[in-house]
Amino acid sequence: MSYRIEEAAYMQHAQAVQSASRSTAEYRALDAAHHIHPFSDMGSLNRSGSRVIVKAQGVYLWDSEGNRIIDGMAGLWCVNVGYGRKELADAAYRQMQELPYYNTFFKTTHPPVIELSALLAELTPEPFKHFFYCNSGSEGNDTVLRIVYQYWTAQQKHTKKFVVSRKNGYHGSTIAGGTLGGMGYMHEQMPSKVGNIVHIDQPYFFGEAQDKQTPEEFALARAQQLEAKILEIGADKVAAFIGEPFQGAGGVIFPASTYWPEIQRICRKYDILLVADEVIGGFGRTGEWFAHQHFGFEPDLITLAKGLTSGYVPMGAVGLHDRVAKVIIESGDFNHGLTYSGHPVAAAVALANLRLLRDEKIVERVKTDIGPYFQKKLRDTFAHHPIVGEIAGVGLVAGLQLAQDPAARRRFANGGDVGTICRDFCFNGNLIMRATGDRMLLSPPLVVSKIEIDEIVSKAKAAIDSTARQLGAA
Ligand code: PXG
């Protein structure tokens, strides 16, 4: 007797699921009755009801009422190859039949995780040849801390324990991820945090530069805060600096070109590991495979997730530069791992996803064609808009700063409310565009077409125009 799920049986099952679907009202009632959403005010959400997303294809989503929505955020910055790629579904289906699970703890391994590691070694910059796997970006950053401490302990530098991060950075929502991140509202809700983590200011020019500073001077000054912090703590006590090459959830904050070279110089000078959190920037978002390549620096560790599988299944990873890998490999037991480290199905999907990104030259297209088209379209549309003060980004990621007086860099007093107003206009116009405070963010799937970009930008303009009218600013 065979336990294989045959195609016909599978289709029958899929149809059964389809025909069992409920009305929007029923879904909302059940959701309110039993489901706690992430980062949500559940009382208020349950009163208004969630939008029920039922399917997706390419860059479009459909809700339970039949509305077609264009996804300007690639889910949560992750669906790089777009929705509905059969190659990824097939890879998962085949792997589930062949070997749905086995671990990599006790002297065992399996083909998908071996192939994935070899392919990542090809796609990442040359010194990255070793990868550790987990299920998410948060776990990736937890793993980073474990590696950093093991690295220094193995070299008898036991006092190197402090990690420097940035205010308004985002590194995940586990206790370590939340502590590393610089989101004050998360810290307030965390009764305990990981010790020895300190924050410096972010390179947010529009919001925080002084009147006479150029973007380059400001970014340099912000980078030099790292040196000041190291001298304050003592270089012998600082283990690592971590940052997103550009801040994603914090508002698509793009530092000027002076920032990362200075951060790298300081890290090297004081013998401090440099960690690039590539969870959003990795796998093509900027037009380079990894965002640190866009900014021209060489990290010691990279955190990966999201675009690794294009979000089709959960997976995270940490890439180790040779100089770190060598020490970890020779340092005895590394006492860290998760049941699903290197999960075969996730690894098979990641492989299929990375092959698509590589073979269809999706990343190159972001760099030379669709990315420049998107950036120009945004600048042509919003350069003189009465409430847009800055257009940040490169490739297929952008942040639009809403401002009361763009020329004077004066922000709205009630910035967060302004972003929410604009986000609601987008929602009603069937565009997904995220708001972070008073910045509107876009990060569409990397396979987006020019016509689809035109649709995203014209819907974004309609929403921002409506916001300006509601605020009496247009
Ligand atoms: N690092 C970075 C840079 C991230 O953006 C994480 C780590 C954590 O990854 P996981 O897989 O544990 O969520 C992230 C996640 C938003 C939003 O609304 C952003 C993220 C997650 C959820 C929502 O912008 N980024």
Residue ranges, comma separated, of all CATH 3.90.1150.10 domains in the chain are 51-84+361-470
| Look-up of token digits 């959830």 | 249
Residue 247 has pLDDT above 70, yes or no: yes
Binned at pLDDT 50, 70 and 90, residue 8 comes out as low
CATH of 51-84+361-470, one of 3.90.1150.10, 3.40.47.10, 3.40.50.150, 3.50.50.60: 3.90.1150.10
Is the beta carbon of 137 within 6 A of some atom in ligand 1? yes
Q: Average of pLDDT values for 239-258?
A: 98
Residue ranges, comma separated, of all CATH 3.40.640.10 domains in the chain are 87-359
Q: Average of pLDDT values for 268-288?
A: 98
Bridge partners for 60 per DSSP: 57, 70
Residue 363 has pLDDT above 70, yes or no: yes
Residue 1 has pLDDT above 90, yes or no: no
Q: Average of pLDDT values for 335-341?
A: 97
- Average per-residue pLDDT in the chain? 95
Bridge partners for 392 per DSSP: 399
Whether this prediction's pTM lies above 0.75 is answered by yes
Is the beta carbon of 278 within 6 A of some atom in ligand 1? no
Sign of the CA dihedral 233, 239, 245, 248? negative
Question: Which tens digits make up the pLDDT trace of 443-457?
Answer: 999 999 999 999 999
Q: Is the Cβ–Cβ distance between 45 and 216 less than 8 Å?
A: no
CA distance 214 to 409: 13
Is the beta carbon of 99 within 6 A of some atom in ligand 1? no
Question: Which tens digits make up the pLDDT trace of 424-434?
Answer: 999 999 999 99
Residue 406: the pLDDT is 95
CA distance 163 to 243: 11
Q: Is the Cβ–Cβ distance between 70 and 430 less than 8 Å?
A: yes
Best mutation site among 242, 275, 301, 306 for ligand 1, i.e. most ligand atoms within 8 A of its Cβ? 306
| Look-up of token digits 């912090």 | 229
CA distance 397 to 439: 13
Question: Which tens digits make up the pLDDT trace of 20-33?
Answer: 589 999 999 999 99
Residue 3 has pLDDT above 50, yes or no: no
CA distance 288 to 374: 16
Residue 65 has pLDDT above 90, yes or no: yes
Residue 79 has pLDDT above 90, yes or no: yes
Question: Which tens digits make up the pLDDT trace of 386-415?
Answer: 999 999 999 999 999 999 999 999 999 988
Residue ID of nearest Cα to ligand 1 atom 24: 249
CA distance 25 to 260: 50
Best mutation site among 40, 71, 77 for ligand 1, i.e. most ligand atoms within 8 A of its Cβ? 77
Pairing type for strands 316-321 and 128-134 reads antiparallel
| Look-up of token digits 């999706």 | 362
Which residue type sits at 397? V
Residue 174 has pLDDT above 90, yes or no: yes
CA distance 356 to 364: 12
Binned at pLDDT 50, 70 and 90, residue 473 comes out as confident
Residue 14 has pLDDT above 80, yes or no: no
Residue 13 has pLDDT above 60, yes or no: no
Binned at pLDDT 50, 70 and 90, residue 472 comes out as confident
Element (H, E) at 304: strand 301-304
Residue 19 has pLDDT above 90, yes or no: no
Is the beta carbon of 395 within 6 A of some atom in ligand 1? no
Q: Distance, CA 433 to ligand 1 centroid (Å)?
A: 16
Q: Distance, CA 137 to ligand 1 centroid (Å)?
A: 7
Classify residue 358 as left (phi > 0), alpha (psi -120 to 50) or beta.
Answer: alpha
Q: Distance, CA 40 to ligand 1 centroid (Å)?
A: 15
Is the beta carbon of 220 within 6 A of some atom in ligand 1? no
CA distance 166 to 24: 42
CA distance 445 to 448: 6
Question: Which tens digits make up the pLDDT trace of 121-167?
Answer: 999 999 999 999 999 999 999 999 999 999 999 999 999 999 999 99
Residue 18: the pLDDT is 54
Q: Distance, CA 249 to ligand 1 centroid (Å)?
A: 7
Element (H, E) at 450: helix 450-470
Residue 187 has pLDDT above 60, yes or no: yes
Question: Which tens digits make up the pLDDT trace of 80-124?
Answer: 999 999 999 999 999 999 999 999 999 999 999 999 999 999 999
- Of the candidates 173, 185, 168, 367, the one whose C-alpha atom is nearest the C-alpha of residue 253 is 168
CA distance 286 to 252: 12
The CATH number given to 87-359 is 3.40.640.10
Is the beta carbon of 305 within 6 A of some atom in ligand 1? yes
Is the beta carbon of 166 within 6 A of some atom in ligand 1? no
Classify residue 292 as left (phi > 0), alpha (psi -120 to 50) or beta.
Answer: alpha
Q: Which atom of ligand 1 is nearest to the CA of 73?
A: 24
Q: Distance, CA 138 to ligand 1 centroid (Å)?
A: 7
Residue 21: the pLDDT is 87
Binned at pLDDT 50, 70 and 90, residue 248 comes out as very high
